[in-house]
Structures are given as structure tokens and as C-alpha cells.
Amino acid sequence: MKIVLDTNLLLVSISRRSETHRIFEALLDGTYDLCVSTEILLEYEEIIGREMGATFAAEVIDLLLDLPNTRRVERYFEWHLLGDADDNKFADCAVAVGADYLVSEDRDFRRLEQVPFPKIHLLRKDEFLGLLESLSTEK
């Protein structure tokens, strides 16, 4: 399963005390493939660095790049599907890799539900956690 994960969900899922930590654990145990572009990685590093420190952010990025289930994606076309240019990199990555889901709590991403082509399936945090739970019970 190929996932594009919005920065804020990655950020809050890192802490073991977070209710969303299962998202980060599932990434580490290979439950899903995390699809990222260079622009997404740079944003991850910037936001995690701002919230948790530059050293920790660099360690997280190194960890992501070392995981066998992190897929680097180059986007060759910009779709401009979202109103916020900063969010378009996530939608473009999802299209480029043929992601199963883009996972985000950002309201701006809900606009994707109205876009008939290219179709991007949006999941919110609770939906994704439910999917992860159902996958873990199948094992």
C-alpha cells in the first residue's frame, strides 16, 4: 500500500505518547510504503526541526531514507489541484506514484474529493488508523 503522508501527521505520529504513534510504527514495520519527493522531505525536515530541533529532524530524515519502504518520487508535472501551492507537492507526489491514499487532516486537502481526474483517495487520520488496525488483525 502506497501512502503520501502530510507533514503534520508525520510530526505528531513520531512521539510514542501520541495517539497517532501507530502511524509511525506501521511505517517502521513496513505495513505501508511512504512515498516522498525531495520537496516533501525538505518540508518534513523544516517542520520537524522547528518543533523538535534540527538534529532530531535530520535523524528522522535519515531514518526515512534508510527504510526499504520509503519510495522516492520525482514529479515531472504540476497538477495545481489545491489552492495552497505548498500543499500541491503532496497531491503531485500521490499522482506521480499512483498512491493508494493521501493521508491528511488538513481541510484544504478535502478539495481533492471533488476532483474527478486525476483521482486521489484522501484518508483522514482516524480512517487511516482504522485501516492500519484492520491490516494488523489480518496478519
Parse the chain into domains and list their residue ranges. 2-138
Q: Which pTM does this prediction carry?
A: 0.91
Using a pLDDT cut of 90, give the percent of the chain over it: 76
Name beta bridge partners: 16: none
pLDDT, tens digit, for every residue of 79-90? 787 877 789 999
* Whether CATH 3.40.50.1010 fits 2-138: yes
Helices 21-28 + 125-138 axis angle, to 10: 50
pLDDT of 112 reads 84
* Cα separations in angstroms, 40 against 18, 62, 104, 136: 22, 14, 14, 27
